[in-house]
Amino acid sequence: MTHLQPDMSSPQPALSNSTTTAFPNVNNSDECPDMISWDIFTEGLPTYIFIISTLGILLNVFVMLVFCLHKKPCTVAEIYLSNLAAADLLLVSCLPFWALNILNNFNWPFGLFMCKVVNLGIKMNAYCSIYFLVLVGIDRYIALVHAMSHGRMRRPKYAKLGCLLVWIFGLVLGSPILFFRKVEYYEQYNVTACYLIYPNVKLALFSDVMLAILSFLIPISVITYCTLKIIQALRNKTMDRFHAERTEKKATTLILAVLVAFFICWVPFHLISILDVLFRANVIQDCYTSNVIEFCNQIVSYLAFFNSVLNPVLYVLVGKNFRKKMWEVFHQWAIVRPVTSDSTRSHLSSTLKTTA
């Protein structure tokens, strides 16, 4: 039977593309002794997962409700941010299944269909969330740098089309999960596992490389380019002075927040993933490095997932426009409901007098 390796135990359910799933305390190579105690993950991870899932669900649902309930149509940026919240909500809604899997001693209790769907949702977030940020960056770049020449591109219908294409893109790139995720009983470990297995190592390595390129190198390059161009335009005062002074602080703060949040949460994951690819390609063969990679895989994976909790705070909740819209929704519901109640009582009183 295929040897199982620990970097794909429940702590890293869908982002890694190793040829096998894993269980704690099982080495990825017969020549490399296990130097890591995995008890810290099996004991602490369920609590951590439930916390970030609860916070993520509450925050992202709140963001989506504000956008949906507000009486005015969403702007282009708000369309992107609402879809970002939806992508993050998809992720944090899937993670509790893996927390329960850990509590169940790594026995997957939800069947083959949920094994595929849950991991597809996690994989789609890895692609969709960053590309919604790319769209936000491009939109801000057009708005601040090419407002006159490309203003027509900043229309809601184009924003909705862009979001649809991102969802399709994430679904297509995540679709291998539907074919290669399986649920199978391992007698030697007495575990029924939801695991990822590719037909060969080359396909697994190719999938890892594509993940690094398409969900990291390309989008971060686009965001960096847009950021530099915006800062350059502000410094050179290519826009009129009044407009530049009014938007410089807000634009720079949002751009830096996007980059800092992404770098903190996702760069460590992608760096460790690259090292993991090099190890599985036999470029790195040191046993100590192998154990370090396996240990770091667990940490950086859930650091990346925490980005879905930070997004509604960093990209939306701290924004002046969102806070304004949030209070307008609160006032809308606080005022409309009592008025409706008073109107109903008045109507009822008039009806009773008429009938009397």
Q: What is the pLDDT of residues 24-59, one digit of tens each?
A: 444 444 455 555 556 666 678 889 999 999 999 999
Residue 281 has pLDDT above 90, yes or no: no
Residue 226 burial (10 A CB sphere; 0-12, 13-18, 19+): buried
Q: How far apart (Å, rounded) are the C-alpha atoms in residues 83 and 89?
A: 10
Please tell me the predicted confidence (pLDDT) of residue 35: 55
- Evaluate if residue 350 carries a pLDDT over 60: no
Give 319's Cβ-side CA count (13 Å radius).
22
Domains annotated for the chain, with CATH where assigned, are 6-320 (1.20.1070.10)
C-alpha distance from residue 316 to each of 116, 248, 307 (Å):
31, 18, 13
**Per-residue pLDDT reduced to its tens digit, 59-116:** 999 989 988 887 788 888 889 889 999 999 999 999 999 889 988 888 999 999 999 9
pLDDT value at 320 more than 80 = no
The DSSP-derived string for 204-273 is HHHHHHHHHIIIIIHHHHHHHHHHHHHHHHHHHT-S-HHHHHHHHHHHHHHHHHHHHHHHHHHHHHHHHH
The whole-number pLDDT of residue 302 equals 82
pLDDT greater than 50 at residue 333: yes
CA distance 76 to 65: 17
Q: Which two tokens stand for residue 113?
A: 């269909």
More confident residue, 152 or 209: 209
**183 close to 222: Cβ distance less than 8 angstroms:** no
**Both tokens of residue 142?**
């057009």
**In the predicted model, what is the mean pLDDT of the chain?**
76
131 band by pLDDT with thresholds 50, 70 and 90: very high
CB contact at 8 A, 91 and 59:
no
Query: Is residue 197 predicted with pLDDT exceeding 70?
Result: yes
pTM, two decimals, is 0.80
Percent helix, percent strand, percent coil in the chain, to nearest 5: 75, 5, 20
Whether the per-residue pLDDT at 163 is higher than 90: the answer is yes
Assign 18 a pLDDT band (cuts: 50, 70, 90). very low
